[in-house]
Amino acid sequence: MPIEFSKKLTAHETPIPGVVLYDLPVHGDNRGWFKENWQREKMLALGLPDFHPVQNNISFNEKAGTTRGIHAEPWDKFISVATGRIFGAWVDLREGASFGAVFTAELDPSQAIFIPRGVGNAFQTLEDMTAYTYLVNDHWSADAQGQYTFLNLADEAAGIQWPIPLEQAELSDKDKAHPRLADVTPMPPRKTLVLGANGQLGKALRKLYDGDTSVEFATRADVDLTSAESLTKLNWKNYSTVINAAAYTAVDAAETPEGRAAAWDVNVTAVARLARIAVENDLVLVHVSSDYVFDGTEEAHNEDEPLTPLGIYGQTKAAGDAAVSVVPKHYIVRTSWVIGEGNNFVRTMSSLAARGISPSVVDDQFGRLSFTTDLAAGIRHLLESGAEYGVYNVTNDGPEQSWADIAADVYELVGASRDSVTGVSTEAYFAGKEASPRPRNSSLTLDKIKASGFTPAVSRDRLSAYLKDGL
């Protein structure tokens, strides 16, 4: 069958999600033909995922009727034919509603097909001397074979109509022995890894994703971001997303020689290391940032404002943001005044109220609380909604308040007197103390996250519930 020349580069959806068939322009004359088998720029414009191929393989088949598969592999493939013609068969072997979906097509050199990880792939040659070629986005290894999922070529549920009956075709003994669909264990999706799982945000993410086996949690004991060796022990190809909830947050201690080194190690060097891993493995990287990247001179800080950190902690967070910004798939989630499970301002004020203590609290720094329940939900929203990558402010909603205002709210909500709280200036509060400079205005605009479809709870409502639930 002659090759059809000069087709327009075109993408065709198939019944299997993510499997896309492409027509390729082939240019021929009396000498033969030429085609661009893989052209990243043009194919990305058609919607092909930027799947970062790292290996090119060719399967040469001497006789028509050679049949291989059905193999679902732990990587993506871009398949075409160099010479000859094949009948291709693909079966979705991934977990999910499309498990068992089938698509078949004949391919010659003027066509190609993209096969996502977990979709079973098989072909039968229709001509002698057929060369089948494919790009993959991970290096083959013997260990990877343990992650394959297989389906029998003759599976009745798939019902593939092979042009050359299987009893007349060339098959390997291994392919003949593969299981039927009812006995196949579906390939699970790549996982999300949460780093810093014992912190306030990490604990909120644990609760949010409780029971979701596609999310793994790692403490510093499991994965030490400051250790390059610790990071190399993970098989990053098993993950699609990393949420970095780990950070050095001792704002005042960061101003000491020891604290400065620790802050830069955790918030910058480790984050840069993680950013490189994300780039190399095509991961989505979620990184939690801070209001401390700003000097507090604006009434409200939006996502595009230039970074103007004051102290060491703020400088390390700003540098970490810069490192993450080079990752093609990143969300920098900027937040402020975080309240969750663990030691925090609200717990301290509640404890003081219970003991009848009347505190002096700063009244010239303004912002909004960020309860980890909403912060975790905002992160999940960004990941599941397919929001555009970039920087998003995520705090609770409602009016801006000073620390003294919030302290008074806590006292009132636990049944103490608001008048027990006395306002004091930042200078007076920190007089004689070693402390980091603070932004006077930590308010972050919420227009962008709201436009993406997520509206955080009002701070006062969340505070009331937090205190009612016994912290």
pLDDT digits (tens, 9 = 90+) for 149-200: 999 999 999 999 999 999 999 999 999 999 999 999 999 999 999 999 999 9
Give residues with Cβ within 8 angstroms of 59, minimum separation 6: 68, 131, 132, 133, 134
* Residue 411 is a catalytic residue: no
Q: How far is CA 118 from the centre of its chain?
A: 18
DSSP 301: B
* Residue 71 is a catalytic residue: yes
pLDDT digits (tens, 9 = 90+) for 25-37: 999 888 888 999 9
Domain positions in the chain are: 10-183, 191-468
CATH class as words, domain 191-468: alpha beta
Q: What is the pLDDT of residue 432?
A: 85
**Catalytic residue, candidates 22, 71, 239, 313:** 71
Assign domain 10-183 to its CATH superfamily. Answer: Jelly Rolls (2.60.120.10)
**Catalytic residue, candidates 22, 132, 134, 466:** 134
The phi, psi pair for 13, rounded to 5°, reads: -70, 155
Element housing 231 (H / E) = helix 228-232
Report CA-CA distances (Å) from 64 to 67, 81, 154, 179, 427.
Answer: 9, 14, 18, 25, 84
What is the DSSP secondary-structure string of 170-224? B--HHHHTPPPGGGPPPBPPPEEEEESTTSHHHHHHHHHTTT-TTEEEE-TTT--
pLDDT digits (tens, 9 = 90+) for 354-407: 999 999 999 999 999 999 999 999 999 999 999 999 999 999 999 999 999 999
Give the chain's radius of gyration (CA, Å): 28
Q: How many C-beta atoms lie closer than 10 Å to residue 390's C-beta?
A: 13
Reply yes or no on whether the pLDDT at 346 is more than 80.
yes
Cα–Cα distance between 294 and 439 in angstroms, integer? 7
The phi, psi pair for 451, rounded to 5°, reads: -65, -25
**One fold for both 10-183 and 191-468?**
no
Residue 342 binned pLDDT confidence (cut-offs 50, 70, 90): confident
pLDDT digits (tens, 9 = 90+) for 61-105: 999 999 999 999 999 999 999 999 999 999 999 999 999 999 999
> Percent of the chain having pLDDT more than 90?
87
Cα–Cα distance between 119 and 18 in angstroms, integer? 9
- Of 370, 321, 333, 336, which is closest to residue 251 (Cα–Cα)? 336
Output the six-digit token pair for 368.
């909004």
Q: What is the pLDDT of residue 1?
A: 62
Residue 471 binned pLDDT confidence (cut-offs 50, 70, 90): low
Q: What is the pLDDT of residue 144?
A: 66
pLDDT digits (tens, 9 = 90+) for 224-270: 888 988 988 888 988 999 999 999 999 999 999 999 999 999 999 99
The mean per-residue pLDDT over the stretch 320-336 comes to 97
Are the beta carbons of 384 and 452 closer than 8 angstroms? no
